[in-house]
Amino acid sequence: IEKCCQVIEKEENLLPEAIAIKYFPTVVERTKGAEIWDIDGNRFIDFLSSAAVYNIGHSHPAVVEAVKNHIEKIQNYTIVYFYNEEPVKLAELLTQSTPGDFPKKVAYGFSGSDSVDSAIKAARAFTGKKYIISFKHSYHGMTYGSLSATGIIDQETKKVICPDEHIVFAEYPDPYRNKWGIDGYAEPDLLSQKALLEIEKLIEDLQGDVAGVIIEPAQGDGGMIFPPAEFMKGLRTLTEEKNIVFIDEEVQTGMGRSGKMWAIDHYDVAPDVVVSAKALGGGMPLGAVIGRAEIMDAVPVPFFAYTHSGHSVNCAAAVAVLETLKKENLLQKAEERGLFLKEWFKEKASQYPFIGDVRGKGLLMGVEIVSDKASKTPDKATALKISWAAWERGLILITFGKNGNVLRVAPPINISDQLLEEALEIIDASFKDTAE
Ligand code: PMP
């Protein structure tokens, strides 16, 4: 990894530490499908997909063609002053794909972070209210608004850098480990009730001055936690009763990865606003907020106006992603692969004492590493050991989660059977290594 080291040294001198949570000394030079190569020629299978971006694989031919064809014609002309076909074409597809049979409108951004900002703006503009209810251990981004709504980072430091007083955090009903000590897999109703009661109390304490609730339908960076369906349904009913905007934050969970187009589709719930980014642009920077028309129209001119928003080339890439998901039947594929992988990891859980929980839907999976199954004590050190052992064998399998002890299983949905098999052999060998 000689060449890699040279770049790393330069990066350390030139880019601030805060850009990163680095794991491995890998300088990525080339990517294709579900594989990446570093500048020293080492090849890795990608179980991270660049943080759930490459749902259809790196440099998918449909995305490459859309970008190439489009950029030859027009790069972008700002949507702030002129009209442009691509963002409109994409908005048609997005409004059709999201749940809820009501008129919708789409505002564009470049990332998850700024798209979350836009959703918060819309909720506040529509209701004329201030507070946003977010969740502990949530991740929403690093711009000012999205950072203020992020629950997973140190809240004291955050208050100094980003002092937004109008965000409150509720407990996310984690079925595996929660503050009430409820086994949420066995008693989803009880867990849902407890979590909903807490939110009702928050609304009361804030004297109803609540504009929106922002929730990941499965906490991603929190450790791939799916709440009980009863909770999501209850939250929808509660927000409807109180005229609170329900913001479904699908930056990590959307675009087919969970086996449905949006993870919220697993709960039969229609949110008021859906936030998308990451996989939306197929690797091109693009975010979108898809919301009820009256909510989106409540935002005053020009509060959504970014020079590059609805970027023409990136919207063309997103149209190609949506077409590819359909053409390659990738929702079904994600579901099938998820079921297969869950069984595979559960089998491993019966062999290895450190696998505490295997969870997820589709290719949004988490494998929780613990030092003791009964007490569920998180074991970050062992999780990192497994992750390193996998890297040494050529697999990118990072750790994440509120305790840093969850293996993140998120390969491209269309990874070949052969690569998937190879990756599982590596994981098995890494488990064995760690157990010894
Ligand atoms: N929301 C969620 C759920 C995310 O996982 C992320 C990225 N990890 C973001 C928002 C922020 O997205 P971005 O990094 O594109 O700004």
**For position 260, which CATH number holds?**
3.40.640.10
321 plus 341 within the same structural domain: no
Q: Give the domain-ending residue among 292, 327, 362.
A: 327
Q: What's residue 271's pLDDT?
A: 98
What gap in Å lies between CA 265 and CA 372, rounded to an integer? 34
| Run of H or E residues at 287 | strand 287-292
On whether both 376 and 387 belong to a single domain, the answer is yes
Same domain, 133 and 116: yes
Predicted local distance difference test score (pLDDT) of residue 388: 97
Write phi, then psi, for 195 (nearest 5 degrees). Answer: -65, -40
Collapsed DSSP state (helix, strand, coil) of residue 381? helix
Domain at 346, CATH number: 3.90.1150.10
C-alpha 140 – ligand 1 centre gap (Å): 5
Q: Is the C-beta atom of 277 inside 6 A of ligand 1?
A: yes
Q: Is 252 in the pocket of ligand 1 (CB under 6 A)?
A: yes
Note whether 128 and 20 are same-domain residues.
no
Same domain as 279, residue 346: no
Same domain? For 142 and 200 the reply is yes
What is the span of the domain harbouring residue 428?
Answer: 2-56+329-435
* Atom from ligand 1 closest to the CA of residue 113: 16
- Per-residue model confidence (pLDDT) at position 1: 77
Domain shared by 20 and 85, yes or no: no
Residue with CA at minimum distance from ligand 1 atom 10: 140
> Are 311 and 343 part of one and the same domain?
no
- In sequence order, what are the residues at sequence separation of 6 or more whose Cβ sits closer than 8 angstroms to the Cβ of residue 158? 147, 148, 150
Question: 278, 302, 327: which is the final residue of a domain?
Answer: 327
Question: How many domains is the chain partitioned into structurally?
Answer: 2
Coarse DSSP helix, strand, coil percentages of the chain, rounded to the nearest 5 percent: 45, 20, 40
Question: Considering only CA atoms, which residue is closest to atom 12 of ligand 1?
Answer: 112
Residues 6+ apart with CB under 8 A from 119: 212, 214, 247, 249, 273, 275, 289, 291
Q: Please compute, for residue 166, the number of CA atoms within 13 A of its CA located in the half-sphere on the CB side.
A: 16
140 lies in the same domain as 233: yes
The reply to whether 116 and 99 lie within a common domain is yes
pLDDT in tens, the chain (436 residues): 788 899 999 999 999 999 888 889 999 999 999 999 999 999 999 999 999 999 999 999 999 999 999 999 999 999 999 999 999 999 999 999 999 999 999 999 999 999 999 999 999 999 999 999 999 999 999 999 999 999 999 999 999 999 888 999 999 999 999 999 999 999 999 999 999 999 999 999 999 999 999 999 999 999 999 999 999 999 999 999 999 999 999 999 999 999 999 999 999 999 999 999 999 999 999 999 999 999 999 999 999 999 999 999 999 999 999 999 999 999 999 999 999 999 999 999 999 999 999 999 999 999 999 999 999 999 999 999 999 999 999 999 999 999 999 999 999 999 999 999 999 999 999 999 999 8
| Residue 220 near ligand 1, beta carbon < 6 Å | yes
Contact (CB, 8 A) for 39 and 27: yes
Residue 372 token pair: 């003791």
